[in-house]
Amino acid sequence: MITLLESATWNNGHLDGVIRDIRRPLPEDGLLSGAVLRMGDPDAGPVVAMSIEGRIFPRKAPVHLHKSDSFRMALGEPIRVGGTSYAHGEFRLQRADAFYGPEYWSDEVGTNQLLLMADRRGLKPYLTDSQLQRLADTALADDVSLEGVAMLPRDADVPHAIANSFGAALRPSHFDAGFTDTARWSVLSDGSRLAAVALGHRESGVLLLCWDRPPGAAALPAFRLGADLVRLVVEGSCRIDAPGAADGSTGGSGDRTEGASEVELGRLGFRLQQEGTWHGASRSGPAGSKELWIVADRRAWPPLTAAGPAEGPLAEAGAEVAALTSQLAAAA
């Protein structure tokens, strides 16, 4: 189940928003402006924070590690980790239990990233400096967003693993990729490109699906997924139908239902979808769409449509996920 740090009204199992710079006046359109949320397993599921705001971290966050695999992606302006600068849409996968950093922030840009911890119990940073560690522990103790989360101790065993479908190798504890270069991603039957990434627990961890869908790509049918889903438009736009049939689908073929309303998500627009609820049929906009999908538990993929098992791009994504599962099993 997805739970938000702020109160919100869900509409048939979903919420929509746009990651906006909250230092500027926000329109009263009812959309979330970024989000901090927990998803998946109530104890050890992922936590996601996506926001553009004034700097909330020290100007230089010291070298540290987490007891969880993590994913971060720059939003709008670049972010800098260690000696690498990441432009909008570029991301870093970081292995659990490995030191990295420092991270740098500026007063001008502030905090502008999507940060995912595959296991929320690994949020606590472990630093190399004991005095800084005490300061970090104090800040965590005062953070109301972490209420009820039992942090993993430094010596905890973390059975996490990272795998991907496009051949990126950990070097030695992270790899970089992004929506700025999709040439190595798999090409689907409708011309879309897809990259799949597994992180977190070897069996039940997070699935990331990175889509590069051209204009005119095949529409995705309405579907129901047995795991929480976050869907973020990195570039371009997509249109999502409202569920049209009484059972929450758009009809057996996945086509639009006559008269059903739709939502258009533009750049940095996102949808939060609760597990077990119907997600409307969708198609890329006139300039195509590059999208990040976060699935809380990869065992739930592929989804079901009103006509039964997924076909087309959703089924092809399932083949990528199956290959990841085999890759993780072979490396265990």
Instruction: Supply the mean pLDDT for the chain.
Output: 91
> For residue 141, what are the domain limits?
3-158
pLDDT value, residue 70: 98
Looking at the fold, whether 141 and 278 belong to one and the same domain comes out as no
Choose from 30-34, 77-81, 132-136, 177-181 the range with maximum mean pLDDT. Answer: 177-181
pLDDT for res 252 = 38
Residue range 80-108: average pLDDT? 92
**Which residues 6+ apart lie within 8 Å of 190 measured at CB?**
213, 217, 218, 312, 313
User: Are 134 and 169 in a shared domain?
Assistant: no
Q: What is the mean pLDDT of residues 156-178?
A: 96
| Contacting residues for 63 by C-beta, under 8 A, at least 6 apart | 99, 100, 101, 102, 127, 128
pLDDT value at residue 251: 41
Lowest mean pLDDT among 85-99, 247-261, 309-323: 247-261
**pLDDT for 118:** 98
Q: Within this chain, do residues 143 and 183 fall inside the same structural domain, yes or no? A: no
> In terms of domains, do 260 and 231 share one?
yes
Q: Sorting pLDDT into bands at 50, 70 and 90, what band is 57?
A: low
Domain co-membership, 176 together with 313: yes
Q: Which residue has the higher pLDDT, 216 or 196?
A: 196
Q: Are residues 94 and 222 in the same domain?
A: no
Q: For the residues 102-131, what does the mean pLDDT come to?
A: 89
**Domain final position from 158, 179, 208:** 158
Is the model's pLDDT at 259 over the cut of 70? Answer: no
Instruction: Specify whether 233 is located in the same domain as 256.
Output: yes
Of 181-185, 238-242, 324-328, the range with the lowest mean pLDDT is: 324-328
Of the listed ranges 24-28, 31-35, 218-222, the one predicted with least confidence: 24-28
Same domain, 95 and 168: no
How many domains, in total, are found in the chain? 2
In the chain, the N- to C-terminal Cα span, in Å, equals 29
Confidence of residue 329 (pLDDT cuts 50, 70, 90): confident
Same domain, 326 and 236: yes
Q: Tell me the pLDDT band of 109, cut-offs 50, 70 and 90.
A: low
Q: Is the pLDDT of residue 253 over 50?
A: no
Domain co-membership, 139 together with 180:
no
pLDDT over 90 (residue 52): yes
Residue 60 maps to which CATH number? 2.60.120.10
Domain end marker among 158, 176, 210: 158
Claim to verify: residue 190 and residue 324 sit in the same structural domain: yes
| Per-residue pLDDT at 228 exceeds 50 | yes
66 and 197 fall within a common domain: no
Domain boundary among 142, 158, 174: 158
CA angle 72, 48, 228 (to 5 degrees): 120
Task: Please tell me the predicted confidence (pLDDT) of residue 53.
Answer: 87
Q: 258 near 281, Cβ under 8 Å? A: no
